[in-house]
Copies of this chain bind each other. A is one copy, B any other.
Amino acid sequence: MSPKSPLTVIPPDIVAVSDYEAYARERLSDMAWAYLQAGAGDEHTVRRNLEAFSEILLKGRVLGSAAGGHTRLSLFGHVYEHPIFLAPVAYQKLFHSDGERATALGAAVTQTLMVLSTLSTVTLEEVAQAETAPPLWFQLYLQADRSVSLDLIHRAQREGYRALVITVDAAMAGVRNREQRAGFRLPPHLSAVNLPSQSPVPTAAPGQSRVFDGLMKTAPGWDDIEWVLSEARLPVILKGIMAPEDADHACRMGVHGLIVSNHGGRVLDTLPAAIEALPTVAAVVAGRVPILLDGGIRRGSDVFKALALGASAVLVGRPYVQALAAAGPLGVAHAIRTLREELEVVMALSGTPTLDRIRAEHLSL
């Protein structure tokens, strides 16, 4: 049975972002679905990212004034309408024929920051130059060849991307068994169009370790971060920080922001939930740089909890991609609006009319 076409109108039974999941399933091939949903190993961390939020309890406040409240925030010198950002997701033409162009349109009409992936299937230029473009950050996978990375940085700067998000937790792809069982391969008509060509994967000699003597040979290190900091004119944000030790090191080195993330549970199984790692990272960062939270956001209340525990904003991934697959730009915009209004409801019912008022005291800890 071939996948259905995207919806052109949001049906009345989609009332929460998780409702997009079933609609997306019907509109994606088994391979694309496996690629989107899969996590590393037994997917404990994938599930934990979600479940951890439901175990954090709100407190609720009554009779407070929230009239005139708003969800605006300022980050690295720019104002954003709300703190729900689109996480970098690779190869979006797997999910919708317009790929990242469609996502960007949905983001633009909802004034939503989009983080474009290095591995996008639409060039970073095309996304930035669209008539209706959202605020943009560029996610950078550091390349084995620094000149390739530098070229990406320069292009992103030229096109008005406002920050560089360097993914640091994916030195290798992770053992994604679900993807392997589905025999996932990128379809031949898709490629990472920002890159000169698919960079060759480093290989190990016979008898050597594919991991230690292959993949890790070209994995980025802290020295590469220093190099980016010295070369880039944009704020540099590290994505994939879970250990307080790494957060502290990054702050000392001068990075401008951190994204607490376990890569959606896709790289290393049995990591803690991102939201579980956030408080320990926030404690060691102690306000030196802004922290964002990525992983497991499915409700406005999840956004609220992340902010209460120290995040300035959050990134969502699978939910908007499911909405993209189900209903294109319309779906992306609807999913974001849904999350944002849920967030506003929680803010109003917690006595916190602005984001900076959201603190741990608004949770039942």
Interface flag for A70 (CB, 8 Å)? yes
Q: Are A70 and B209 in contact, CB atoms less than 8 angstroms apart? A: yes
Query: Quick check: is A3 within 8 A (CB to CB) of the other chain?
Result: no
Give A222's nearest chain B residue, CB to CB: B63
- A59 close to B (CB within 8 Å): yes
- Contact (A15, B177) CB under 8 Å given A212-B353, A344-B209: yes
Q: Which residues of B contact A189 (CB under 8 A)?
A: none
* Complex Cα gap A156–B301 (Å): 37
Instruction: Flag if B69 contacts A212 (CB, 8 Å).
Output: yes
Q: Give A299 to B44 CA distance when docked, in angstroms.
A: 12
Q: Given the complex, which residues of B lie within 8 Å of A177, measured CB to CB? A: 15-16
Complex Cα spacing A243 to B262, Å = 33
If A62-B240, A63-B220, A349-B169 touch, whether A299 touches B245 (CB-CB below 8 Å) is no
In chain A between 66 and 112, which residues have their CB closer than 8 angstroms to a CB of chain B?
A: 66-71
Whether B301 and A41, one on each chain, are in contact in the complex, defined by CB atoms closer than 8 angstroms, is: yes
Flag if A246 contacts B63 (CB, 8 Å): yes
- What's the minimum C-beta distance from A341 to chain B, rounded to whole angstroms? 6
Selecting from A50-58, A115-123, A321-329, the interface stretch reads A50-58
Q: Which residues of B contact A59 (CB under 8 A)?
A: 242-243, 271-272
CB-based contact B246/A62 at 8 Å? yes
A174 at the interface (CB under 8 A from B): yes
CA distance A63 to B248 in the complex (A): 13
Contact across chains for A66 and B212 when beta carbons are under 8 A apart: yes
Check: A283 CB closer than 8 A to any chain B CB. Answer: no
- Which residue of B is nearest A263, CB measured? B60
Question: Can you list 8 pairs linking A and B with CB atoms under 8 Å apart?
Answer: A15-B175, A16-B42, A42-B54, A42-B299, A59-B243, A62-B168, A64-B221, A212-B344
Say whether A269 faces chain B, with CB atoms less than 8 Å apart: yes
Q: How far is the CA of A346 from the CA of B240 in the complex (A)?
A: 15
Nearest residue (CB) in B for A71 is B209
Q: Which B residues touch A209, using CB under 8 A? A: 69-71, 341, 344
Taking the complex as formed, is A149 at the interface, i.e. its CB lies under 8 A from any CB of chain B? no
Given contacts A54-B44, A65-B221, contact A345 B212 (CB under 8 A): no
C-alpha gap A174/B348 in the complex (Å)? 11
Chain B minimum-CB-distance residue to A245: B61
Most B-side CB within 10 Å, residue of A53, A63, A64, A262: A63
Can you add 7 more A-B contacts, CB < 8 Å, to A62-B246, A219-B348?
A16-B41, A57-B270, A64-B221, A69-B209, A71-B209, A210-B341, A276-B364
Chain A positions 160-181 with a Cβ under 8 Å from a chain B Cβ:
168-169, 171-172, 174-175, 177, 180-181
Closest to A299 in B: B41
Interface contact B267-A70, CB-CB below 8 Å = no
Measured between alpha carbons, how far is A300 from B353 in the docked complex, in Å? 40
Q: How far is the CA of A217 from the CA of B277 in the complex (A)?
A: 37
CB distance from A212 to the nearest CB of B (A): 4
